[in-house]
Every structure is written in structure tokens, then in C-alpha cells.
Structure 1
């Protein structure tokens, strides 16, 4: 799933590019024609809104695993901007709502209906983040959306097609494991390394974090290697275990404070440490974990808006990436952010009705 589409939306010609990106991603995922048409509609609406209401922004399209961890590939659209924000989100999601004289006649309400899940977070003066996911097994209107316990976003350096970063999660009994991999460098060879890490996780999810990393080290030897972080939640014991090798970052929020989780120096697949420290911490109902690659600025500021912290993990990951970078402070490498928040519940208007 290393293929990434990123479309800076600065003029009307890029709306077409956003629609094309959605169509190409659906073709990669093998989604049915009706789901592809729905994705194109949502991409068009979100890109148009970036121009009309935010003065521009960017669309990102990722291929991700389906929410239930089953077979197939989902397509996830992201819309990111630093515009004026939306003062009344529930009103904006109602059919027929518009602040423009000329409209597609669809609006955000159509995004809510068309996607398998649609989430939107906006803060006046700080911009808007929206995500829409299209799954391989669409259940149809009126079916409750399946919420994933983890979410993330990947973007490539210089809008390259192949991203050297990857993230994934898998559930094995009471264990829920989140992985983030950053292949050395960028481009196809880096993507090969991170993709190999994701594939091996599916076979090693029953193991504790340190053993998963050792298995990954063996699997990644034929590649150029990667920095990898593994977080594993034991839902029976309400305990989080974290271990990392290489230059990745992680922060755990409990209550009102954030704690940095440090990875050990090394390269999975090349220079593996003799000992891997594993940090274990209680996981509370208000806990939240953010992991990221080194493409994110090292001094990024964790969010403190309670409304954002309660959002779907994919929205939170996208907002962290958006707020950590800007035209004046662009990302300097492939960049990924992954969030674990299995106890979160979103409001009704954040999900497909």
C-alpha cells in the first residue's frame, strides 16, 4: 500500500486532478464501479470546498486496510486546509446547505452518505480536516459504519508516487498491535522495506513487541531496512507495550499530559540492537497514542483541543500532520502519522448515517 496520491488544490484545474486520484486509487483497490463513482463525487466536493471556502489546501489519497482487519483494500481520502474553518459543522452537513451562490448541489451531506465513513473536524480560524473511507465490502445506506481502532496518514516527499513510510494494525485475540515503519531513504526501495514490515506483522501479531521486531529484522534483511515502532495494547490487562528501533517518534497522552516514548538506535533489517527495551504503561479510557516517522518536525506540538482528541483516529492523525507542517515549514521526508485510540466514540454527525 505504498502508493500515495497528493494533490495541492490551488486552482480549479486541481479539482479534476483530485477526482482522477480518487478514481486511480479505487482501481488499485479493485473497488466496484459504484464505489468508484462515489469516491470521485466526494473527492470533487472536498476539493471544490478547499478552493471555495479555504482559499486552497491539499487532498491526499491513501490505500489502507479495511476497518475490521479482513481481506481487501480500502481507499481513504483526506482534505487538509488552514482556512477559516466551519463555524457550524452540523449545519454544514445538512443537505442543501451552502454559503456559495453557485454550488454542486451535493454538499458535505452527500459526502456523509456516499462514504463508508466520513469524519470532519473544523475549528474557526484554524482550518478543517476531513476524511472519507471507501471499503471493499460496502454494506449500503443505513448500515452502521465500522469504526477502526487505529488510523493514520502517509504522504510522500515531493509528492512522489511511492511512499517509503507505512503503518498498519492487526488484532489477535486480546492483543491489538499498531506498527509504523519508515524505510531508509525514500522512493521504491524504501517502500519495499516498509511494505515488507507490514506484511510480516500479519504473521507475527501474536508475539510481544520485542519479538515482533526480531521477526521483522529477519524479514527485512533482503531490503535496505527500516526504522520501526511497535505498540501493542493488551485489552484484557489494559496495558500498552511499546518498543522501537530507529528514528521514529511516539507520544502517549494520559489525562492532561503527554509522555514521549523513545525508540532504540538501530535499523531493522541491518543494524539490530542486542537488547530491545520495552516500555509498559497502563492504558486508561482516556489514553491516546500518536506514532510518527522522522518526516514530522521533531518539535511538533501535540493537540490540546478536546474535540479533536475525541475524533476518529484518522482525523487526528491527519490534523497532527497538517498542523506540524506548512509552506514555511514543509516536510523534509516521507511522513506518516498513526494513532491508536480504541476507546474513542465520535458524534453522530461524524459518521455515515
Structure 2
């Protein structure tokens, strides 16, 4: 174990709430209230989460013809529980999204407090919008005083996780390890769907987080042994060493990885055939440069493999959660569990 390493695990999928008319905002607010009660957060934190839910739903009705979606879930930051919102639409988009954060500025004849209010209510906030493309908003709510005492993160992270339609659990999982001189990222996809797939993915994440001292290839071998009692999983591990400016990637099965850089060609990362816990054909690592404002994106095969950021001007330089949100909006297969995870150096 790497003493002092910070761990993140993504085992809970987003809940999806479709908003096309005003009454659905109330339903969203009630679902968020149920989540905040289950988390046991303070009344102040729960109140802010309810207001963000209301503002997201209201904006979708006011500013789009077809509405949109609000994805929300429980998250944890170094042991601090919180609520994450992703508000996504196919509306007209905004030519000057930063200006829309100012109170009194609106494109719909409303008071113009929606986006600005969401930003003020959030501990973490990010926005992407472009004319003709649509808009994605990230909001994360934590206990404000506890969050302010935490040290600023060196990396921004985010993603989208969804169960296969009709399933109660997600067969995918992910984890991150933030150690002194490196970051490790895992995405696992249990074979099939439902509880068996979920059990395999969860076991992969647990085994991954237990061995923060190992490199990617050694971790894959350890996970292969741990997954033998399960139905098996496809997975990939990325190790980032910022000072060395190098990313090492080991993939087995249908997990897709890429490195995005502003105004540069996307680097697609190589995975080998096989299934951990069942048929491990070959473990081979590949190294890639980690420089030039990079963003790592990894996803399971619930996302179409040929998705392209070319249709989203400027998105490759935005928060990874927004990249994942737009990729999900336009490239979700809708017939499988889905996980998208992104990571990039934090902007100072």
C-alpha cells in the first residue's frame, strides 16, 4: 500500500431524469431529496442540492424545445460525501456562455439567475456550450465548510455511469489512485449484465484499490487471479507519471482509451484481446506522451467506439465530466451498461 494515497471508486451509477415540462422538475427535486436524506448531509447542503435540481430542470424547460436530461448521483471526495449533477441538452447553445453566468443576463426573457445561481450553490462547477451544439453543466455539492478545508486537487476528474436499461445494478466500475508521484485509473466491465457482471466489476475495483504499490502490468495479473471466482471482466489500467510526462496503458478486452489535446489529433490507446478471470491471452503495456494539456478518457463498450470530438468546438479543453456528458448524449448505445471516465491536470 502506498501510504497517503487518495482513493476514488465509482460503483454507483447515475440516475437519469428526463425533463420536458415543468412538472417533471418537482419529481426530480423529490428524488434528489431522497438521496440527500440517505446520505445524511446537513440541511444546508440538502437545500442547496434541491435548488440546483430546480434550476437545472427550469433551465431545460425554458431554454430548449425538446428538454434534456439531468443525471445525478452520490459521489465521494477523499471521504466527503456529495451530490453530483450533470445537466445536458440539445438546445441552441450559447455563443458567450461565460456571459450567461452573470445575473440578469438571459436568452429567454427570464430573470437570468439560473446558471449563475447554480455556480454560486456549487462547490465545483463547469459549463460547456456552443451555438448549434447544446449545453452541458456540471455541479457538485458538498458540505461547504468541509470542502473549503480540503487542499486544492491537482487533477480534475469526472464521468458518466449508467446501468443497462431495465437493470437495477451497473455491470461496470472504475477506480482512481492519487499517489505521491503517479495516478492510476481503472475501468472494468463485468461480462454480461446484472448482478453477476456487477459483482465482477466491483471485485476488480476493490482489488485495484488494495494494491496501490503495483504497476499496471502487475496489477492486471493480480486482478486476473482475484476475478477467477467471478464471471470475469474486460478492463484497462492507465498510469500517469506527471513529472516524467508519460502515460502507461494496459488494456484487456473492450475498454477504450484515448488522450485528447486541444488542437491536436486524438491518441487512441491500445488494448489486447482477453478476459480477466477467464482467458487472459497477453498482458502488454504501451507508453504515450502525457503533455500539452492532455485529457485521458476511458470508456466501456456501452459507448459507440467511433465517437469524435470534432463536432464540439473547444470541448477537449473543458472539464472531463463535460467531455463525458457530451459523449454520452450523442454516442450512448442504450443497450448496455455504460461507463466513461476522464482525468486531466487541474487548471490553476
Is 1:203 matched with 2:210?
A: yes
Deviations 1:56-83 (A, max 9, x none): 11111133331xxx22433211111111
> Aligned partners of 1:324, 1:219: CA distance in 2, in Å?
32
- Stretch moving more, 150-159 or 22-31: 22-31
Task: Report the alpha carbon displacement of residue 304 of structure 1 after superposing the two structures with TM.
Answer: 6.4
Map 1:309-328 onto structure 2 (within 5 A).
309-325=316-332
Structure 2 vs 1, CA of residues 85 and 57 (structure 1 numbering), >3 Å: closer, same or farther? same
Superposed CA RMSD:
2.6
Map 1:15-34 onto structure 2 (within 5 A).
15-34=25-44
Structure 2 vs 1, CA of residues 166 and 15 (structure 1 numbering), >3 Å: closer, same or farther? same
> Aligned partners of 1:180, 1:84: CA distance in 2, in Å?
33
Structure 2 vs 1, CA of residues 185 and 21 (structure 1 numbering), >3 Å: closer, same or farther? farther
Is 1:62 matched with 2:73?
A: yes
SS at match of 2:15: strand
- Corresponding residue for 1:98? 106
- Corresponding residue for 1:86? 94
Is 1:150 matched with 2:161?
A: no
TM-score normalised by L of structure 1: 0.86
Number of matched pairs: 336
SS at match of 1:86: coil
The correspondence for 2:335, drawn from 310, 332, 339, is 332
SS at match of 2:98: helix
Q: Quick check: 1:62–1:154 contact (8 Å CA) kept in 2?
A: no
Structure 2 vs 1, CA of residues 261 and 125 (structure 1 numbering), >3 Å: closer, same or farther? same
> Aligned partners of 2:209, 2:148: CA distance in 1, in Å?
31
- Corresponding residue for 1:253? 260
> Aligned partners of 2:300, 2:324: CA distance in 1, in Å?
12
The correspondence for 1:170, drawn from 173, 177, 190, is 177
Q: Quick check: 2:295–2:344 contact (8 Å CA) kept in 1?
A: yes
> Aligned partners of 1:128, 1:144: CA distance in 2, in Å?
30
Q: Quick check: 1:5–1:159 contact (8 Å CA) kept in 2?
A: no
Structure 2 vs 1, CA of residues 210 and 156 (structure 1 numbering), >3 Å: closer, same or farther? same
SS at match of 1:166: strand
Q: Quick check: 1:25–1:61 contact (8 Å CA) kept in 2?
A: no
SS at match of 1:202: helix
Q: Quick check: 2:236–2:251 contact (8 Å CA) kept in 1?
A: yes
Q: Quick check: 1:181–1:197 contact (8 Å CA) kept in 2?
A: yes
> Aligned partners of 2:178, 2:147: CA distance in 1, in Å?
25
Gaps of 5+ in 2: 1-10
> Aligned partners of 1:142, 1:87: CA distance in 2, in Å?
36
- Corresponding residue for 1:345? 347
The correspondence for 1:217, drawn from 224, 236, 239, is 224
SS at match of 2:165: helix
Task: Report the alpha carbon displacement of residue 269 of structure 1 after superposing the two structures with TM.
Answer: 2.4
Structure 2 vs 1, CA of residues 281 and 186 (structure 1 numbering), >3 Å: closer, same or farther? same
> Aligned partners of 1:146, 1:27: CA distance in 2, in Å?
27
The correspondence for 1:49, drawn from 28, 42, 59, is 59
- Corresponding residue for 1:12? 22
> Aligned partners of 1:304, 1:168: CA distance in 2, in Å?
29
Structure 2 vs 1, CA of residues 296 and 34 (structure 1 numbering), >3 Å: closer, same or farther? same
Gaps of 5+ in 1: 347-353
SS at match of 1:257: coil
Task: Report the alpha carbon displacement of residue 100 of structure 1 after superposing the two structures with TM.
Answer: 4.0
Task: Report the alpha carbon displacement of residue 9 of structure 1 after superposing the two structures with TM.
Answer: 1.3
- Corresponding residue for 2:12? 2
TM-score normalised by L of structure 2: 0.87
> Aligned partners of 1:7, 1:82: CA distance in 2, in Å?
15
